[in-house]
Amino acid sequence: MKRTLISLALVWACALDMHAADADSLSARGEHAYEGPEIERFTVETRMGWKMQRTGGVTDDSRTGFRGEYINMYLHARLYKGLSFRWRQRLNITNERNFWDSTDYMMMQYEPNRHWQIAAGKQVVAIGGYEYDRPAIDLYYNTEYWNQIPCFQLGASVAYTFNSGDRLMLQLSNSPFRKAIGNNNTYGLSLMWTGVHGPWETIWSANAFQTTGGRWINYIVLGNRLNLLPEGRLWLEADFINRASSRQTFFFQDCSVAAELSGRPHPAVRLFAKYTYDRNHSGTDADQCVTDGTEIHGIGGGVEYEPFRRYPNVLRLYGVANYSTGTNANPDGALQDGLVCVNIGIKVNLDILQGLRWALRKRETDPQ
C-alpha cells in the first residue's frame, strides 16, 4: 500500500510539473496565463535518533534505543484558480491501522477571493493553542492533553480574513472522541480566531464536542505568542486550555497549560525551555484526554541546530531532555511520575518537487 501510495504521488507530481513547464512556455511566448493544475509542494520529511526513557529510575527498554519517529509526505497542489488540494500522509503508521487513520489531512480548499476560504475533507480540528498548532515532527515533549487528543477528523469549514489580518473560522467535524466512546455518529463545532497585533499573536478557540453519555464537553483555548525581541530572536508561546462539561465546575478543574520560551543566539541555533501542566479534578469521565484524578507537571529544554543556512529546513540536529512529576490517573498515559526522557537525533526534509524541476530543466538544457 505504501509503495503504491508513493508511486502514485510521484506520477501525479511529474504530471503536474509538466503542466507547470507548459505554463512557463506559454508565458515565454506571451500567451494567456496558465490557470490549470500546478503542484506547489511535494516533500517528504523524517525524524530519527536515539531516545532514552526512564520511569522511577528504571529504564524502559521498549522505548529506549535508536528509533525512527516520523515519516511524513506532503502534497499541496493548485487544481484551478482559487481551488487547491492539500494532503499529508504519515508513512510510519503501522499496518493495523487503515488508510484514513494514517492520513493527517486530505481536503479540497476554495478561496474565491482574499477574504473567504471554504474547505472540506479530513482536516485539523480547529482547536487553538501553539503547541497544538505545530506539526508533531517539530515537537519533542508535550502536555498529556496533546498526547491524547485525536486532532484530525472529517469535516467542513468556512473562514473569513479581515483587512486587519484577523481570521475567523467556523468548523463542523466529527467528534475527536468518536472512537474512544464507540459512537461514530458524534460531532464537534469549533470557532477559531487567529490574529497578529504587533508583537502579540493569537490562536484562540471555543469548541464543543460530543463525548460520553450523550454529553458535550466545551473547550476554551487561549493560545498566545509574544515576540520579545525582533527578527525572531526571542519569543514566548503560552497556551491555556480549559475543558468543562455538565455537572462540574466550569473553570480550572479540568485544564492544561503549555509555556515555551525560545531564543536564537545565532540564526542556525534555537534554544528552548518548556513547562507543561495537566489537571483534572472534575469528578466526571467527560474528558477523554486527561483522566479524572490527574495532576502532573512537566519541564525540560533543548537545542536545535540547522547547519545549512542557505537551506535551513533541509537538516536539523537536536538534543532534548525532559522530566515529569505528579499523578496521572491514566496508567497508559504519556506522562508519568518520575519520567525522564533524553532525545538526540536529526530531522531531514527532502523537497522532491525541487528535485523533479531540476531534473526537467537539466533534460531541456542538455544536448540531445
Dig out the grid coordinates for 110 from the structure: 476554495
Q: Compute the average pLDDT of residues 91-116.
A: 84
How many CB atoms are closer than 10 A to CB 48?
15
Mean pLDDT in residue range 88-117: 86
The stretch 41-46 carries a mean pLDDT of: 94
Residues 6 or more apart whose CB falls under 8 angstroms from that of 38 comprise 16, 19, 20, 23, 77, 78
Cα–Cα distance measured from residue 324 to residue 169, given in angstroms and rounded to the nearest whole number:
35
Number of C-beta neighbours around residue 264 at 10 A: 17
42-69 mean pLDDT: 95
Counting residues of the chain whose pLDDT is more than 90, the rounded percentage is 74
Contact (CB, 8 A) for 38 and 14:
no
Task: Over range 81-99, report the average pLDDT.
Answer: 81
Q: What's the angle, vertex CA 330, arms to CA 288 and CA 282, rounded to 5?
A: 55
Average pLDDT over residues 72-98: 86
- Return all residues near 224 (Cβ < 8 A) that are at least 6 apart: 130, 200, 201, 202, 237, 238, 239
**228, pLDDT greater than 80:** yes
pLDDT at 121: 97
> So what's the pLDDT on residue 34?
56
Res 23: pLDDT: 45
Confidence of residue 311 (pLDDT cuts 50, 70, 90): confident
Indicate whether 24 pLDDT > 70. Answer: no
* Contact call for residues 15 and 42 (beta carbons, < 8 A): no
Percent of the chain beyond pLDDT 70? 88
Average pLDDT over residues 190-195: 98
pLDDT at 161: 97
Task: Work out the mean pLDDT of the chain and round it to a whole number.
Answer: 89
Q: Comparing 241 with 24, which gets the higher pLDDT?
A: 241
Rounded mean pLDDT, 162-189: 95
Q: Please, are residues 318 and 305 in contact by the beta-carbon 8 Å criterion?
A: yes
SS3 11: helix
**Residue 196 CB-density burial (10 A; 0-12 exposed, 13-18 middle, 19+ buried):** middle
pLDDT at 313: 85
Of the candidates 360, 367, 352, the one whose C-alpha atom is nearest the C-alpha of residue 19 is 360
Answer for the pair 133, 145: CB distance below 8 angstroms, yes or no: no
Does the structure show a pLDDT above 70 at 327? yes
pLDDT higher than 50, residue 15: no
The Cα–Cα gap between 190 and 128 comes to 10
State pLDDT tens for residues 238-295: 999 999 998 777 889 999 999 999 999 999 999 999 999 999 999 999 999 999 999 9
> Amino acid letter at 196?
V
CA separation, residue 114 to residues 111, 123, 162, 364 (Å): 7, 21, 9, 36
C-alpha grid cell, residue 366: 542538455
Q: Which residues pair with 271 in a beta bridge?
A: 263, 303
DSSP category for residue 137: G
What was the pLDDT predicted at 197?
95
> Please, what are the domains in the chain?
116-318+330-336 (2.40.160)
- Burial class of residue 96, CB neighbours in 10 A (0-12, 13-18, 19+): exposed
Element (H, E) at 18: helix 2-28
C-beta of residue 145 within 8 angstroms of C-beta of residue 290: yes
Residue 31 confidence (pLDDT) above 60: no
Residue 2 has pLDDT above 80, yes or no: no
pLDDT of residue 21: 47
Whether residue 41 contacts residue 76, with contact meaning beta carbons closer than 8 Å, is answered with: yes
pLDDT of 29 reads 41
Q: What pLDDT sits at residue 357? A: 79
Residue 119 has pLDDT above 80, yes or no: yes
